Amino acid sequence: MTSLTPADLAKKAAADAAVAFVQDGMRLGLGTGSTAAFMVKRLGERVREEGLRVVGVPTSSRTADLARAEGIRVVTLDQAGWLDVTIDGADEFDPDLTLIKGGGGAHLQEKVVAAASDRMIVITDPGKRVARLGAFPLPVEALQFGLASTIRHIGAVLTDLGCADVRITRRMAGAVPFVSDEGNAILDLHMGTIADASVLSRSLNQIPGVVENGLFINMSDLVVIGHTDGRAELIEAEPGLAEQMRAVRPRQENPFADIVG
């Protein structure tokens, strides 16, 4: 077995602790990214070893491919209808459990899936914990049509909000522009700090051409921080939430009962 780096050990610890919340019969949102990949692999182990019956709604084609390879039944969000839990990573989180996501270019699907879930568990390592968001560039998904105009509008909005010296770059995949699963461009806003995430999020999403931004506000219920020694630290949005989540039961005994297609 390949040795894991210290960073990977922390990611795996977080993923393992999060998957322990999964119960038979659940419908799950499956996140995207390196930490989420550990989560999908651990979930696959439980499916194979315990006979765990779950269905997964992936947030990217990459996650869908991995989930199928792990033996997890994959369905669309429309087929699943509603989800018990989404488990996903984050690029940053602050004391209010507000997130920056989108380092993998999948924050649009990730946000749609998380919003269709009863709970969201965020899996991270200690380096993602910050006092104020913004050191990680904020991803913004935008239509390729009129992209230069959209960038100008974003710049004007940031100026109006008093965000000086923000650099806007287009996400690249090597020598070519990165394209999301929806065929859109990803812009990275190098903010430095974000003073008011709610105002910034609303302002960006009102710009024609902007599809979605990477700020996840009031969506995280539980953050699991993995450490290199295998420990997992839980940060709850409200006291006692972790125990409530362990006690909750899926809606149906048969997770496939009303899934069509």
Residues marked active site are found at 110
Strand bridging mode 172-173 / 176-177: antiparallel
The token duo for 240 is 């006692």
H helices of 20-133, in order, are: 34-50, 61-69, 77-80, 107-115
**How far is residue 9's CA from residue 260's CA, in Å, rounded to a whole number?**
38
Q: Which long-range contacts (CB under 8 A, 24 or more apart) does 49-54 make?
A: 52/22, 52/24, 53/24, 53/25, 53/254, 53/255, 53/256, 54/22, 54/24, 54/25, 54/26, 54/27, 54/28, 54/255
